[in-house]
Amino acid sequence: MNHPLRLGIAGLGTVGTGLVKLIDRQSNQLASRLGRGIEIVAVSARTRDKDRGIDISRYVWFDDPLELAKSEDIDAFVELIGGEGGIAKDSVETALSAGKHVVTANKALLAHHGTELAARAEERGVALNFEASVAGSIPIIKSLRESFLGNEVRRVFGILNGTCNYILTKMEQEGRGYDEVLKEAQDAGYAEADPAFDVDGHDTAHKLAILTSLAFGTEISFDSIYVEGISTITPEDIEAADDLGYRIKLLGVAQKTDSGIEQRVHPTMVPKHSAMAEVDGVTNCVAVQADAAGDVMLIGPGAGADPTASSVMSDIIDIARGTILPPLIVPSAHLSPYKPARMRSHEGGYYIRLSVLDRHGAFAAIAQRMAEQEISLESIMQKRPRTALPGIDASRSPGDTLPVVMITHETLEAAIRKALTAIESDGQITSKPQMIRIEKL
């Protein structure tokens, strides 16, 4: 146990470079704390001569990460390449098959292939650790694997994507539209040139799939997640949320019900008084509701070189200590098949915004469509802008549209969608209806 743990790192981007720097800074302290050293012996990346601000000449260079993955000179393979399949998947499989411990930050790989990879790691008696795959520096994987092991987890949910949270925060604070704030986020480096993976909710869904398996002991089932993004959120929705006592956040929610597991990603109205409503900017937040521990919330940086490298380092330290756990808590042979929950009423109700034609009978027709689906309305409000534009006559004329907001009591989403489809068909509204869930936290 006293010999150093020898690492091979594949991928020297932001996180990989951050990890090298972290190990350089902490090497003496780590050796003192662990009773053994941790040393990088080999690396692999797409470009050898790129200026990364680190000296990689100290390490053996591999052009091919597959060769690095099976090298006899390493004990643990650190995969920081990224991507659902391709070379990332091949190199992780190669390392596990060669009896190497694996540490990865690759949420997409785990969301699509995690169950299979966990079984391979168990067969070889090696670790497959992935703390950095969810929520940056927040130790949610370790918490579920260890701290909540004596609990029955009932629900896990949170803000799992910093890009979306940054955009929604800016829209609220500055009263600007989605497209304008997205462009700013791209210029600041918080959003990719092609932001779809983040803003359409897929990044959050990958992370949620992993958390669901850990929380409830099921096989990972990414394809079972209902996913909505934030691109339809308008300043009018954010203003209405504020008036009603809510803030809008993109949440990933997984919960256990009597009929199965529910997984969903979507914009959500959360009460202003809740701790989650106060999480702004690129910060992430994960909450766990368990029978014994109660309600626990973890908040911290969701991305970035140092925060993510910190989580990768925690996985490496576990391996250096000899801690090897089943990757998904439950041995893969004992994982339950994923069983989706039956449709049930959403307890928090729904926010609905309509652009209604200002004509006789429109409101009555809308109310009738809601009644046909047995939807009970808590409130219905005509919304006008808080401030009129200079020189604009705010008086109403026949044929104008009126922004109308409705809040429902607990009801089925299918009923809401049927009613809104009928309202659209009736020609009482001029644009697609907006629907946002209201969550009880």
DSSP letter, residue 409: -
* DSSP state for residue 339 in the 8-state scheme: -
- CB atoms under 10 Å from CB of 122, counted, come to 19
Q: For residues 95 and 71, is the Cβ–Cβ distance under 8 A?
A: no
Q: How does DSSP assign 23-51, residue by residue?
A: HHHHHHHHHHHHSS-EEEEEEE-S-SS--
137 token code pair = 């520096």
Q: Which of 352, 332, 342, 408 is nearest to 377 (CA)?
A: 408
Q: How far is residue 51 CA from its own chain's centroid? A: 31
Query: In angstroms, what is the C-alpha Rg of the chain?
Result: 25
Spell out the residues 6+ positions from residue 145 whose beta carbon is closer than 8 angstroms to its own: 214, 325, 329
Question: Which of 133, 142, 108, 140 has its CA nearest to residue 285?
Answer: 140
Hey, what are 119's tokens?
A: 């079984």
Cα distance between residue 132 and residue 392, in whole Å: 52
Check: CB of residue 311 under 8 Å from CB of residue 131. Answer: yes
Of these residues, 207, 249, 256, 440, which one is catalytic?
207
- Provide the 3-class DSSP secondary structure of residue 323: coil
Among 422, 376, 335, 332, CA closest to 122: 332
Among 50, 186, 165, 4, residue whose Cα is nearest residue 16: 50
CB 221 within 8 A of CB 328: no
Question: What residue type is 254 in one-letter code?
Answer: A
Q: Which residues have CB under 8 Å from 244's CB, separation 6+?
A: 269, 351, 405, 407
Are 271 and 251 contacting, i.e. CB atoms less than 8 angstroms apart? no
418 is catalytic: no
- Using CA atoms, how far apart are residues 158 and 298, in angstroms rounded to an integer? 9
Asked if residues 157 and 252 have their Cβ atoms less than 8 Å apart, the reply is yes
Active site residues: 207
